[in-house]
């Protein structure tokens, strides 16, 4: 991708947008630390860092580039590990089609107590967007044999180029299960039955906010995200996220001794 196309693909996710996200996230973590006490959960490490993910054999999806963020934003995110990658769907031949460009943003957190997950609901508001449609839904993932809960947000922003309407899809993998809500994460993290706790936020979006590429429609984004996640999530879950069943089994065995 040339410099112009790369700039278009970055569109919505520029430094001001990421700084807004990072500031919100930093505030959440300061609150979490302020009220932390000895009842904090133990940390679980990833099986392998996200950066070591195998990007080959993903069907039509080709890894294009790492969407770098500044050290300041990276520090404010506070994630144990993260990835921010741009993929290209080679089955979409038109280089101006926003569905050709897929942004995958994944962050991982573990340990602590009552941490508030950061979500695009607040991040996009901080970047000047308004949510015009919100929906929690289930998405079939044949590769994992599940119907996965996911949250779908469509935003709108008026500017000199017109009215951009990006759609963002996200959920969390928390303590071995998918959930689409912050309350779902918090209830799992704070369960007295669990000695360990982790959550991983998975976020997918398409195209950018430039007038040349813009954003695809909501229905098209949902359909494209389902296909992409069905290809990528098995790799993320099986190769990188903690083996929750093994961790809880070991914890129970240690407690019984």
The domain total for the chain is 1
State residue 65's pLDDT score: 94
End-to-end CA distance of the chain: 58
User: What average pLDDT does this structure show over 144-157?
Assistant: 96
Is the pLDDT score of 147 beyond 60? yes
Dist. CA 194–CA 86, nearest whole Å: 35
| pTM for the structure as a whole | 0.81
Q: Which residue has the higher pLDDT, 88 or 114?
A: 88
Q: Which residue has the higher pLDDT, 252 or 144?
A: 144
Is the pLDDT score of 133 beyond 90? yes
Region of poorest pLDDT, from 29-33, 49-53, 58-62: 29-33
For 162-189, write each residue's pLDDT tens digit.
Answer: 567 899 999 999 999 999 999 999 899 9
Q: Residue 24 sits in which domain range?
A: 3-256
**Nearest-CA neighbor of 212 among 166, 161, 167, 163?**
161
Residues in Cβ contact with 152 at an 8 Å cutoff, skipping those fewer than 6 apart: 133, 134, 135, 136, 137, 167, 168, 169, 218, 221, 222
User: What average pLDDT does this structure show over 34-51?
Assistant: 76
Q: Indicate left, alpha or beta for 232 from its phi (over 0: left) and psi (-120 to 50: alpha).
A: alpha
Are the beta carbons of 212 and 227 closer than 8 angstroms? no
Q: Share the mean pLDDT of the chain.
A: 82
State residue 30's pLDDT score: 37
């Amino acid at each position: 991708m040339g410099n112009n196309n790369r700039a278009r693909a970055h569109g919505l996710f520029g430094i001001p947008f990421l700084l807004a996200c990072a500031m919100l996230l930093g505030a959440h973590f300061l609150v979490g630390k302020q009220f932390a006490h000895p009842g904090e959960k133990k940390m679980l490490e990833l099986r392998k860092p996200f950066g070591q993910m195998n990007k080959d054999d993903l069907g039509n999806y080709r890894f294009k580039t790492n969407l770098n963020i500044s050290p300041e934003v990276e520090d404010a995110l506070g994630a144990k590990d993260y990835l921010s990658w741009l993929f290209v769907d080679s089955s979409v031949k038109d280089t101006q089609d926003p569905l050709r460009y897929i942004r995958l943003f994944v962050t991982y957190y573990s340990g602590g107590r009552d941490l508030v997950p950061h979500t695009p609901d607040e991040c996009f508001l901080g970047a000047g967007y308004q949510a015009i449609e919100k929906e929690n839904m289930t998405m079939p993932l044949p590769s994992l044999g599940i119907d996965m809960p996911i949250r779908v947000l469509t935003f709108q922003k008026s500017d000199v180029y017109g009215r951009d309407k990006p759609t963002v899809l996200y959920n969390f993998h928390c303590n071995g299960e998918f959930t689409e809500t912050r309350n779902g994460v918090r209830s799992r993290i704070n369960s007295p039955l669990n000695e360990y706790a982790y959550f991983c936020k998975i976020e997918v979006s398409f195209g950018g906010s430039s007038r040349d590429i813009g954003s695809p429609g909501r229905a098209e984004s949902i359909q494209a995200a389902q296909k992409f996640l069905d290809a990528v999530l098995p790799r993320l879950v099986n190769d990188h996220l903690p083996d929750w069943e093994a961790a809880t089994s070991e914890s129970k065995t240690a407690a019984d001794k």
